[in-house]
Amino acid sequence: MGGSHVSRCRLSMSGPDKPVVAIPLIDDIEKHKQSVAATPSKRFFDDVLPFREEEIREALKREAKRHRWWKESAAKKMQIGELENSSCIQYVLESFTEARSTSEATEAYTLGQYLDRHGDDSGSSQQNPWDYEVMPNMMFVEQTRVMELPGSSRMGKCTGCSAEGSTHCFHCRGNGQDKCGFCRGTGMKSGVAHPAVYTHPMVASFPHADLSRGYASSSTAMVRHGNNTYGVGTPMYFMSKTGVPPPGLGTHDLCYMCHGRGVRECHYCKGGGKKVCSTCGGSGSVRSFSKLIVQFELEKSDYITPCEVPEMLIRQAESKEIFMEQANYVRPISKYHVKEVNENSRMLCVKHLERVMGKSRVIQQRHSLHAIPLCRVAFSLGNQTGVFWVYGRDARIYFPKYPSKCTIL
Ligand SMILES: [Zn+2]
Ligand SMILES: [Zn+2]
Ligand SMILES: [Zn+2]
């Protein structure tokens, strides 16, 4: 199927909602229903394209060249007996339909931008997704078009940041500081908390011990002291409590990344604890609108009358189109002389319409009949006899019992 084409959508959207399917208008459904019940039309078909003996012999010679163990001379010597010409018929039905759905989206916007573009109207009137003509770029080719539903635009406060323009930094939970990864929050170069720190009566805290004050993501409890933040149980914390460094510890024992604090500036928010809201870009307001999603879909079904040549081969052969019709709704074929073709045409027409009833609008349908000429050929070669088939307008050969190397050809 043709690649999906998404039309110009100038918006960078965040549409978290699932698309809402728009049920086709009642007029469309009515037309649709009438067609399901419609009576078939009368037509005439010209479908048998007989093969002549010369053509068959040419086809045999061509075929012999393709198989290196067939002798071309054998193809010449072969006696061609009775020919039975007939046709294999392929019926093809295609329905090109359109389904619509909407999905809510928002984009960063300032009120000024909004007024420039939309004026003062609030644009709150209810829109029906089927009110607009949306044309496919090409008929009978699957494609998707996405556009803004006209009149669906409205301004609102950003819910991502409660209109503040910034959000708490997720990584440090707004703290601006995060556990130092180099010392695992201990403040020690060794990565192991120093006993002098957590055994001191004024401190009596172990890093990570105080989970009630800790942060799930970092599991380091932090203490603010003036402008400084320390991890609980770190050498700097000790100093802030006792006014002296932990006994027996020198600067060289401290983690050189956090200098004994056990915490570092959060590199996601650069220590600010807040980030510009990604939803509104910091403006605090967003424009919401509905996206209209139009999906043009193609359903194709076919039926091939059974014959002695395997269907897989018949499908590859060249055929002649003996009938073709395109309409908003095609009517099933009813007067073809092979009743299975009529039956399957009716069955497929109903199936196609039922499948999309109430979900999609039928734009166009087309159906066609293709005749694949078929000839049963009786032959003899020496004292052997058999049958083979010539089929397709490109005169392909099919032996039901593939002749072995030595026997026939
Ligand atoms: Zn550190
Ligand atoms: Zn942060
Ligand atoms: Zn925001």
Which numbered ligand comes closest to the C-alpha of 168?
2
**Is the pLDDT at 213 greater than 70, yes or no?**
no
Structure tokens at 326: 């395109």
Structure tokens at 49: 């394209």
33 in a domain, yes or no? yes
230 in a domain, yes or no? yes
- Dist. CA 262 → ligand 1 center (Å): 5
pLDDT of residue 37: 61
350 in a domain, yes or no? yes
Q: Which residues form the domain of 341?
A: 26-96+299-398
What pLDDT digit, counting tens, does each position of 392-409 carry? Answer: 999 999 988 655 544 444
Same domain, 266 and 307: no
Same domain, 333 and 258: no
Last residue of one domain, picked from the residues 261, 276, 291: 276
Structure tokens at 188: 């020690």
pLDDT of residue 388: 92
- Dist. CA 269 → ligand 1 center (Å): 18
114 in a domain, yes or no? no
Which numbered ligand comes closest to the C-alpha of 175?
2
- Dist. CA 172 → ligand 2 center (Å): 4
What pLDDT digit, counting tens, does each position of 110-128 carry? Answer: 777 777 776 555 545 567 8
Same domain, 267 and 313: no
| Backbone dihedral angles phi then psi of residue 50, each to the nearest 5 degrees | -70, 145
pLDDT of residue 273: 86
Q: Which of 41-45, 167-171, 318-322 has the lowest mean pLDDT?
A: 41-45
Q: Apex CA 368: angle with CA 96 and CA 304, to 5°?
A: 105
pLDDT of residue 344: 96
**Is the pLDDT at 210 greater than 50, yes or no?**
no
**Is the pLDDT at 7 greater than 50, yes or no?**
no
Asked if 367 and 43 touch (Cβ cutoff 8 Å), the reply is no
- The DSSP letter of residue 324 is E
Same domain, 270 and 311: no
If we measure between CA atoms, which residue out of 295, 350, 309 comes closest to residue 145?
295
Give the three-state DSSP class for 57.
Answer: helix
What pLDDT digit, counting tens, does each position of 120-164 carry? Answer: 555 455 678 888 888 899 999 999 999 888 888 888 888 888 888
150 in a domain, yes or no? no
- Dist. CA 293 → ligand 3 center (Å): 26
Could you tell me which residues come within 8 angstroms of residue 389 by beta carbon, excluding any fewer than 6 positions away? 308, 309, 374, 375, 376, 377, 397, 398, 399, 400
Which numbered ligand comes closest to the C-alpha of 276?
3
Same domain, 269 and 304: no
191 in a domain, yes or no? yes
Give the mean model confidence (pLDDT) for residues 301-319: 95
CA distances from 137 to 149, 246, 394 (A): 19, 76, 34
- Dist. CA 187 → ligand 1 center (Å): 5
Same domain, 261 and 321: no
Residue recorded with tokens 């032959």: 379
Number of domains the chain contains: 2
Same domain, 266 and 312: no
Same domain, 41 and 75: yes
**Is the pLDDT at 366 greater than 90, yes or no?**
yes
Identity of residue 224: R
Give the three-state DSSP class for 322.
Answer: strand
pLDDT of residue 150: 83
For residue 83, the Cα-to-chain-centroid distance in whole angstroms is: 51
- At residue 65 the predicted structure's pLDDT band, cuts being 50, 70 and 90, is confident
CA distances from 291 to 14, 19, 21, 110, 230 (A): 11, 9, 12, 20, 49
| Backbone dihedral angles phi then psi of residue 252, each to the nearest 5 degrees | -70, -15
Structure tokens at 402: 């593939």
**Is the pLDDT at 76 greater than 90, yes or no?**
no
Distance separating the N- and C-terminal Cα atoms of the chain: 42
Residue 199 or residue 38, greater confidence: 199
- The DSSP letter of residue 332 is P
